[in-house]
Amino acid sequence: MPGILNGEKGKAIFTPNPEILLKQASDAEFRDILGQADYLIPDGIGLYIAVQMLEYDSRFLRVALLPYFFFNLFFKRDMLYKKYGERICWSDLTKLLLNYSMNNNIRVVILDRYNPTDLPKVASQKVFEKNLSQKFPWLLFDFYVYNPDEKLSIQSQVQKSDAKILFSTFGMKAQEQCVLDVMAQCPNLKLWLWVGSSFDYFIGFQKRAPRVFSKLGLEWLYRLATSPNKSRQLSKVGNAIFVFLWKVIKN
C-alpha cells in the first residue's frame, strides 16, 4: 500500500462481478471503461464457476460437469483461489482501506450518488458523516454528494485537498466513469476504487449478511430473503447466476 500511495501515478481498482460482466458484454463503452483499471479484483462466486467451465471447449462438458464445479466451489475453494486468484468482496476491501487510512492519518474522499428522488438515499446522506465518524472515529474524510451541476467545483475541492484515496459509491458503470473523470483532474489522489453499497453497511442503512453466509458465498441468498423489494432482488440474482452461467456455457 505505501508503494501505491507514494507513487507518481495513481491506480484504479474495479471489482467486477457476474452482473457487471453481463453488462459489459453488450456495452462496448462500459467494456472500455473496465479495461482502463489498473487492477480488476474478482467479486462474486459465479466467476469461479465460469472460469472452471472455460477450461473446457465442449458445451456438453460445461453442463455435465456443473455438479463438479459447484463441489469445488463449496468444498475446494482454497484450491480455486490458489489457481484463479482469491475473491475479494468490495465491502471487505473498503473496510480494510478505511482502517488503514485511519491508522495512518490518510485522508480519503467519498463521492456518493446524486438522486434527489431516491428518498432512502437522501436520508442516508444526511447522516452519512455523523454515522461514519462513529464507526471510524479517527478517519480523515471528505464526503460529497456528486451533483453533476457541481461536478467541477467538487473536483476542484478534491484537487486542493491532501486526500490520497477516492471511493465512488455510484451504481454500475456510473461509478467507474466517475472514478476515471476524477482521476484525470486530481493527481493528488493515488488510489481510486468503486465500492457499490459498502458504506451503507457501515452507516447502518443496510445490514450485511452474517459471516457464515459470506464464507459460503451465499450473501445473495441472505439479501434475497431480507430485501423489501424481492422481485428486483430476484431479478439481480437470476442475472448473476443463471443468465451469466448460461452465457458462459454458450460462449
All domains in the chain, ordered by first residue: 2-40+89-202 (3.40.50), 46-86+209-250 (no CATH)
Pairing of β 11-14 and β 39-40? parallel
Q: Residue 223 has what pLDDT?
A: 65
Looking at residue 216, its pLDDT comes to 64
CB atoms within 10 A of CB 134: 12
pLDDT at 139: 92
**Which of 237, 245, 251 is closest to 66 using CA atoms?**
245
Question: pLDDT in tens for each of the 251 residues of the chain?
Answer: 666 666 667 788 888 888 888 888 888 888 888 888 888 888 888 899 999 999 999 999 999 999 999 999 889 999 999 998 888 877 888 888 899 999 999 999 998 888 888 888 888 888 889 988 988 999 999 999 988 888 889 889 999 999 999 988 877 777 777 777 787 788 888 888 877 677 777 776 666 666 666 666 666 665 656 665 656 666 676 777 788 889 899 87
pTM of the model: 0.81
Phi and psi at residue 167, in whole multiples of 5°?
Answer: -115, 130
**Cβ atoms within 10 Å of 238's Cβ, excluding its own:** 11
Contacts of 178 (CB under 8 A, 6+ apart): 111, 146, 168, 170, 194
